[in-house]
């Protein structure tokens, strides 16, 4: 198979930006508000995370991602990081907020946002107030007003980004395209880290390249994989899957489609529109309604012609761990094989995982 | 030895029979030389009764997480079966690992909270009859809501998730109150149990009465020597967990306060000696173990008070039942800014005149581990000795008595 090579550079290191920044951790954070406040919003997502410093504060049986974010804060390497928004997404995030506000609030502004687990009209109303509180809190701390026009512009830029990423994912449905999951994962990762306008330009260029340089060569059929679960720091796992002879065609990850799906249509009442968008999107495992995730998974299996599912969870992520038995049963009924991987992905220890992935792909190749 | 072998004979299937509960009730009442308070026996009786009623399907059942809005469930005359306390009940019969294995065989990760994994095993083993609905709250932990969600799929029944913000505010209380009202109305429709203002007001009044006795008992426990063993008091978690709003809970706390009053007047303590006084954070191991025997009897360390027995909520208003219950849920000491919780701890340290704090750490309990660094730092800053005791509350697989005792020895030596 001819590999698709792009000239566009999607390398994303979180410390490369030269802009005053505010970090976020959970995809339920309304990034548009941070952008409208004049800061560069980026996700605390290190390519090669460490938890060495954080482990002296947080016990190792708490989420490795949360510990890696604390570690990033404790290293104090990023002088441009002016604040952090922590959302009440899970137990570990609450622990992180307590520690961050105790030990790092002198250096960085820290704001805690409530996040309902239900997507009812009552909850949308409640979350709307939370978004307004975030606006007020940023305005008060940094002494700058977040104008309606700035929020309007932010929503436009973020919508454009969402549309472009959706377009890229659409291209993955085309089996004749040599577009691999490793590249897409690097793109989505960059989307969470590099400035949005720059990212949108790069992504437009990439999409144009893909459309014009279609290498519709004689490609052997490869098992098509969907990755489901919590988050991936980098493309290492996807690379492992693809090196084993499969192609990753779609995902349900918070560092994947859960980050960008949907768009904000109502631009008259922006705060309410943001609340609706974030609460009503395809849910993370933390939300009440698991059936919506399952249904979205079933649709993806059909649309992307998925042969097998890899369910990956960060260690100690209760929300995703509890959903695995439900997923296992659901995909079994759909006759789609599923493999579970549970790891901290911090030490780069992929040896055992690699063996299991290879066996899984081999099994799919025989079908 | 005899007692041990009797416990080993209990099987999973026996828990589904009426005779098991009747026999257990009898044993609970007539144990010779039983050092427990009468109120403790009454509480065990209450748990056995509820389970008996559940298996006989006398009333509709709701499966809940701990710290659910029990007053509303009692007002509707439903049987609340709490997932976490059920797990502790099963573990105390030495059956915790059996139910954990059932859940694990069905792909439930052994890294999750064993209280909820054990309850999942019980759901899968059909320990309870079909519930009318399942209910979870979000303020304590993520795993509770997920376990209850899973149960709703197994039972194919309605799932109520009461979303409780961490912030303590009027806005949050209003948000919760509206959810409670919607839930109560829907539960009434589902079960055919009529909901009235009077029934709700009575449940709230019962909750308030129990609260007043519990406060009295807690005050009496400030006396030296301790009028009650902490290991016994830790089992009272069941009541703030799911008992408030029932007649039985009023009666249990009334008896408890009266018994403690008599003991304090006589300066009687069930502990032979009180070399150290401790404040206990979080829960305890429920499987048969010798931790407290070692701590209380051999090392003469008294658990003067436990945070789980702290009454954290204000008196409720019977005229505004939903808002009141919402206020109680929102007032939970385990949620919200850590600073107010630390303030409370320091206050308890002073009130109960303790020499040190033991932070029991149930493996798999993320919120408990999450708050620990701030708690440890705050206590150490005040020079209050602190011990973290890691153990699983339900599974005895990783219970190593020697190691645990060594940690306790080192800590108590430091106190001396």
Chain A partners of B160 at a C-beta cutoff of 8 Å?
Answer: none
Maximal C-alpha separation, chain A: 63
Count of pairs with CB atoms under 8 A, one residue in A, one in B: 114
What single string gives the DSSP state of each residue in B3-53? Answer: HHHHHHT--TGGGGSHHHHHHHHHHHH--TT--S-HHHHHHHHHHHHHHHH
Closest CA to B72 of B184, B164, B189: B184
| Structural contact between residues B164 and B138, judged by C-beta atoms closer than 8 angstroms | yes
DSSP tag of A283: P
Q: Do B150 and A318 touch (CB under 8 A)?
A: no
Quote the CA–CA distance of B47 and B238 in Å, as a whole number: 9
Under an 8 A CB cutoff, do A99 and B138 touch?
no
Res. B7: pLDDT tops 60? no
The pLDDT value given to residue A211: 87
Per-residue pLDDT band for B416 (boundaries 50, 70, 90) equals confident
Which residues of chain A have a CB within 8 Å of the CB of B377?
A: 102
Contact B108 A325 (CB under 8 A): yes
Determine contact, residues A235/A189, Cβ cutoff 8 Å. Answer: yes
Residue to substitute from B366, B372, B374, interface A, most A β-carbons within 10 A:
B366
Instruction: Write down the pLDDT at residue A214.
Output: 60
Which candidate, A199, A193, A181, A168, places its Cα nearest to that of A235?
Answer: A181
Decide if A199 contacts A283 (C-beta within 8 A).
Answer: no
pLDDT of residue A42: 96
Mean pLDDT of B158-176: 97
Q: Hey, are the CB atoms on B107 and A340 less than 8 Å from each other?
A: yes
- Tell me the whole-structure pTM to 2 decimals: 0.95
pLDDT the model gives residue B236: 96
The b/e string for A150-188 (b: 16+ C-beta within 10 A; e otherwise) is bbeebbebbbbbbebbeebbeebeeeebbbbbbbbbbbb
B 347-386 → A contacts, CB under 8 A? 361, 363-364, 366-367, 369-374, 377
Nearest to B111 among A99, A316, A325 (CB): A316
Classify each residue of A210-247 as buried b or exposed e, where b means 16 or more C-beta atoms within 10 Å of its C-beta: beeeeeeeeeeebbbbbbbbbbbbbbbbbbbbbebebb
CB contact under 8 A, B163 and A117: yes
In terms of CA atoms, which chain A residue is nearest residue B342?
A98
Cα B392 to Cα B362, B364, B401, distances in angstroms: 5, 8, 13
What is the C-alpha separation between A28 and A67, in angstroms, rounded?
19
Chain A CA closest to residue B371? A95
Judged by CB atoms within 8 Å, which residues 98-127 of B form the interface with A? 106-109, 111-113
B364 contact residues in A (CB cutoff 8 A) = 61
Query: Do residues B333 and B342 make contact, with C-beta atoms less than 8 angstroms apart?
Result: no
**Nearest alpha carbon to residue B119 among B107, B130, B131, B128:** B128
Q: Could you tell me if B52 and B273 are in contact, meaning their C-beta atoms sit under 8 angstroms apart?
A: no
Question: Helix or strand or coil: residue A86?
Answer: strand
**What pLDDT was estimated at residue B387?**
97
Return the C-alpha torsion angle B298, B300, B301, B302, nearest 10.
120
Assess whether pLDDT exceeds 90 at residue B350. Answer: yes
Alpha-carbon gap, residue B217 to B259, rounded angstroms: 9
Give chain A's count of helices (H) and strands (E): 13, 8
Any A CB within 8 A of B410 CB:
no
Structural domains in chain A?
A: 17-144 (3.40.50.11890)
**Band of residue B5 on the pLDDT scale cut at 50, 70, 90:** very low
Q: For B253-283, what is each residue's pLDDT tens digit?
A: 999 999 999 999 999 999 989 999 999 999 9
pLDDT tens string for chain A (367 positions)?
Answer: 456 778 899 987 877 888 999 999 999 999 999 999 999 999 999 999 999 999 999 999 999 999 999 999 999 999 999 999 999 999 999 999 999 999 999 989 999 999 999 999 999 999 999 999 999 999 999 999 999 999 999 999 999 999 999 999 999 998 888 789 999 999 999 999 999 999 999 999 999 999 887 665 556 789 999 999 999 999 999 999 999 999 999 999 999 999 999 999 888 899 999 999 999 999 999 999 999 999 999 999 999 999 999 999 999 999 999 999 999 999 999 999 999 998 887 766 688 899 999 999 999 988 7
List beta partners, residue A342.
Answer: A313
Give strand ranges (E) for A186-302: 224-229, 247-252
Using CB atoms, which residue from A92, A114, A288 is nearest to B366?
A: A92
3-state class (DSSP) for residue B85: helix
A132 vs B contacts (CB less than 8 Å): none
In chain B, residues 230-249 whose CB comes closer than 8 Å to chain A: none
Name which of A330, A256, A351, A240 is nearest B107 in CA terms.
A330
Calculate mean pLDDT across residues B23-40: 90
How high is the ipTM of this complex? 0.95
pLDDT tens-digit readout, B54-81: 999 989 999 999 999 999 999 999 999 9
Estimate to the nearest angstrom the gap between the alpha carbon of B285 and the chain centroid: 12
**Reported confidence tier of residue B6, pLDDT bands at 50, 70, 90:** very low
Q: Are A40 and A68 within 8 A, CB to CB? A: no
Average pLDDT for chain B: 95
Q: Do B112 and A323 touch (CB under 8 A)?
A: no
Give every strand in the sheet of B356-362, ordered side by side.
B301-306, B276-281, B356-362, B386-391
Q: Looking at the predicted structure, is the pLDDT value of residue B343 above 50?
A: yes
Cβ distance B142 to A319 less than 8 Å, yes or no, reads: yes
Question: B-contacting residues of A 278-297, CB under 8 Å?
Answer: 285-286, 288, 290
Contact: A319, B141; criterion CB under 8 Å: no
pLDDT of residue A177: 81
Q: What is the mean pLDDT of residues B390-395?
A: 97
CB A78 within 8 A of CB A21: yes
Q: Give the separation between CA B406 and CA B411, rounded to whole angstroms.
A: 9
Distance from the A126 Cα atom to the nearest Cα atom in chain B, whole angstroms: 7
| Pairing between β-strand A21-24 and β-strand A81-87 as defined by DSSP bridges | parallel
* A61 to chain B, closest Cα gap in Å: 7
Give one word for B303, left, alpha or beta, with left for phi > 0 and alpha for psi -120 to 50. beta
Q: How far is A327 from chain B (nearest CA, A)?
A: 10
Q: What is the pLDDT of residues B185-233, one digit of tens each?
A: 999 999 999 999 999 999 999 999 999 999 999 999 999 999 999 999 9
> Contacts of residue A294 in chain B, CB cutoff 8 Å?
none
E-only strand ranges, B43-124 = 61-64, 79-82
Three-state DSSP class for A81? strand
> What is the four-CA torsion angle of B164, B166, B167, B171, rounded to 10 degrees?
-10
> Best of A56, A114, A317 to disrupt the B interface by mutation (most B CBs within 10 Å)?
A114
pLDDT at A348: 61
Which residues in chain B have Cβ-Cβ distances shorter than 8 Å to A117? Answer: 138, 145, 161, 163
> Rounded to whole angstroms, how far apart are CA atoms B74 and B243?
9
């Amino acid at each position: 198979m001819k590999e698709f090579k792009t000239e566009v550079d999607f390398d994303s290191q979180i410390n490369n930006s030269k802009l005053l920044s505010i970090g976020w951790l959970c995809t339920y954070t309304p990034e548009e508000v941070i952008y409208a406040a004049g800061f560069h919003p980026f996700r605390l997502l290190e390519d090669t995370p460490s938890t060495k410093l954080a482990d002296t504060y947080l016990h190792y049986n708490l989420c490795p991602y949360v510990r890696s974010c604390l570690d990033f804060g404790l290293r104090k390497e990023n002088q441009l990081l002016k604040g952090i928004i922590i959302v009440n997404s899970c137990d570990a995030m609450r622990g992180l907020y307590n520690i961050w506000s105790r030990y790092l609030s002198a250096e960085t502004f820290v704001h805690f946002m409530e996040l309902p687990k239900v997507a009812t009209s009552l909850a949308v109303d409640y979350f709307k107030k939370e978004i307004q509180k975030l606006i007020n809190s940023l305005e008060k701390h940094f002494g700058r007003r977040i104008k309606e026009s700035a929020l309007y512009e932010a929503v436009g830029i973020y919508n454009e980004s969402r549309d472009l990423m959706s377009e890229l994912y659409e291209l993955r449905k085309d089996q004749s395209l040599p577009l691999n999951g490793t590249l897409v994962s690097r793109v989505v990762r960059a989307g969470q880290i590099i400035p949005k306008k720059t990212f949108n330009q790069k992504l437009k260029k990439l999409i144009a390249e893909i459309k014009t340089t279609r290498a519709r060569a004689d490609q052997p059929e490869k098992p098509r994989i969907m990755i489901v679960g919590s988050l991936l720091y980098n493309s290492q796992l996807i690379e492992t899957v693809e090196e084993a002879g499969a192609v990753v065609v779609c995902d349900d990850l918070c560092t994947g489609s859960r980050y960008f799906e949907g768009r904000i249509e109502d631009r008259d009442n922006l705060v309410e529109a943001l609340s609706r968008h974030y609460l009503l999107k395809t849910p993370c495992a933390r939300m009440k309604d698991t059936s919506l995730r399952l249904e979205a998974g079933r649709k993806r299996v059909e649309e992307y012609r998925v042969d097998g599912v890899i369910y990956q969870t960060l260690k100690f992520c209760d929300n995703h761990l509890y959903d695995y038995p439900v997923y296992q049963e659901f995909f079994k009924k759909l006759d789609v094989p599923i493999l579970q991987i549970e790891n901290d992905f911090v030490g780069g220890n992929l040896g055992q995982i690699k063996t299991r992935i290879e066996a899984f792909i081999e099994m799919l190749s025989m079908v | 030895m005899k007692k041990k072998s009797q416990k080993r004979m209990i099987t999973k299937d026996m828990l589904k029979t009426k005779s098991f509960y009747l026999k257990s009730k009898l044993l609970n009442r007539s144990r010779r030389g039983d050092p427990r308070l009468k109120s403790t026996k009454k509480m065990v009786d209450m748990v056995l009764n509820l389970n008996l009623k559940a298996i006989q399907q006398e009333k509709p059942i709701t499966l809940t997480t701990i710290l659910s809005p029990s007053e509303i469930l009692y007002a509707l005359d439903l049987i609340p079966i709490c997932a976490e306390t059920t797990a502790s009940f099963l573990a105390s019969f030495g059956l915790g690992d059996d139910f954990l294995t059932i859940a694990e065989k069905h792909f439930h990760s052994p890294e999750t909270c064993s209280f909820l994994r054990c309850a999942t095993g019980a759901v899968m083993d059909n320990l309870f009859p079909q519930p009318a609905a399942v209910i979870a709250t979000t303020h304590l932990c993520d795993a509770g809501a997920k376990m209850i969600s899973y149960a709703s799929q197994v039972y194919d029944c309605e799932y109520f998730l009461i979303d409780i913000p961490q912030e303590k505010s009027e806005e949050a209380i209003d948000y919760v109150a509206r959810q409670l009202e919607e839930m109560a109305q829907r539960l009434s429709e589902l079960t055919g149990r009529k909901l009235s203002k009077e029934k709700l007001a009575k449940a709230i009044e019962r909750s308030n009465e129990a609260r007043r006795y519990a406060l009295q008992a807690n005050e009496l426990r400030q006396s030296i020597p301790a009028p009650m063993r902490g290991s016994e008091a830790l089992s009272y978690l069941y009541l703030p967990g799911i008992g408030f709003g029932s007649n039985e809970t009023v009666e249990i706390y009334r008896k408890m306060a009266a018994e403690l009053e008599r003991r304090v007047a006589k300066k009687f303590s069930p502990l032979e000696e009180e070399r150290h006084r401790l404040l206990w954070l979080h829960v305890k191991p429920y499987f048969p173990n010798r931790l407290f025997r070692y701590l209380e009897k051999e090392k003469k360390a008294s658990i003067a008070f436990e945070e789980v027995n702290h009454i954290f909520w204000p008196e409720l208003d019977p005229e505004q039942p939903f808002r009141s219950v919402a206020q109680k849920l929102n007032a939970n000491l385990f949620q919200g800014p850590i600073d107010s919780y630390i303030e409370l701890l320091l206050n308890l340290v002073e009130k109960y005149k303790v020499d040190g704090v033991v932070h029991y750490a149930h493996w798999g309990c993320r919120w408990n581990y999450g708050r620990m660094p701030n708690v440890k730092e705050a206590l150490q800053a005040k020079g209050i000795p602190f011990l973290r005791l890691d153990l699983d509350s339900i599974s005895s697989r990783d219970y190593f008595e020697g190691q645990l005792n060594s940690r306790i020895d080192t800590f108590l030596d430091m106190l001396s």
